[in-house]
Amino acid sequence: MTENSQKPSVLIDVKDLNSGYGDRQVLYDINLSVNDGEILVIMGGSGSGKSTLLKNMLGLKEPSDGRVLVHGLDLSNASQSELLKLRRSTGVAFQGGALLSSLSVGDNIKLPLRQHTDLDENTISIMTRLKLELMSLADCEDLMPSELSGGMLKRAGLARAVIMDPKILFFDEPSAGLDPVTSVELDQLILKLRKAMNMTIVVVTHELESAFTIADRIAVLADGELVTTGSVDEIKACTDKRVANLINRSPRDVQIDAEKYLSRLTKGAK
């Protein structure tokens, strides 16, 4: 890790975020910042609140308390045009790709270009093919999403996310449902993207290996709380039980009361 004489600039700032669905609160007082040019991995088990945090950072969900600032812009208070401008420089790769099922892969990737730019079709075509080559999807331009495998869908979704050369890239569960080999290839792709396009990347995942490979910093979520944030080495050395469990892949510690266990087993017996 290189030491900088100046503090890195903060691109995304999550302040005292509380968020939930109806009566159910999911996130408690989250404070998190994402620095310019870094790869931040948000890790946590199922039910830790990762997806909710991501939704809040994307402006898809309103917090019940607290703020999310992107480039200094408060997402809850931003005007439509400010939000639009922000979204054009933000790419999101969703789990499963989230490609529009009625368009071909090529048309899906071209969509942001066609909607937001005045570029001619030839230029758009070349840009699209560039990204497809980057994702090793060169032959898939005319296929429909239903004809792609899980890995290919993710890469296509990623291609669409980066077609406008965004400043910030979000990646939701890149490794979910992928075999280890494809997963590693995807990790390398993410690193390549950051280097080639100087992006700030936020990855949400629960895959340890991927996280350790790509992360500059890792933020660990458990039960809706931000347990700790730090570099890969710091996280590995962390003594907090929840973090340690996550790292060491130990099951949660559940004490079994013998009496209650027996009564649960025999409930309702005549």
Residues near other proteins (CB under 8 A) are 55, 58, 60, 83-84, 87-88, 90, 92, 94-96, 98-102, 111-112, 115-116, 157, 160
Q: How far is CA 47 from CA 71, 197, 202, in A?
A: 29, 33, 19
Nearest distance in Å: CB 256, other proteins: 30
Choice between 48 and 90, CB closer to other proteins: 90
For CA atoms 108, 34, 57, 226, give the dihedral sign: positive
Phi-psi region of 148 (alpha: psi -120 to 50; beta: other; left: phi over 0): beta
Nearest distance in Å: CB 243, other proteins: 29
Choice between 10 and 83, CB closer to other proteins: 83
| Cα 178 from Cα 21, distance rounded (Å) | 30
**Rounded to 5, what percent of the chain is helix, strand, coil?**
40, 25, 35
Choice between 21 and 261, CB closer to other proteins: 21
Choice between 55 and 129, CB closer to other proteins: 55
Nearest distance in Å: CB 98, other proteins: 4
Nearest distance in Å: CB 132, other proteins: 18
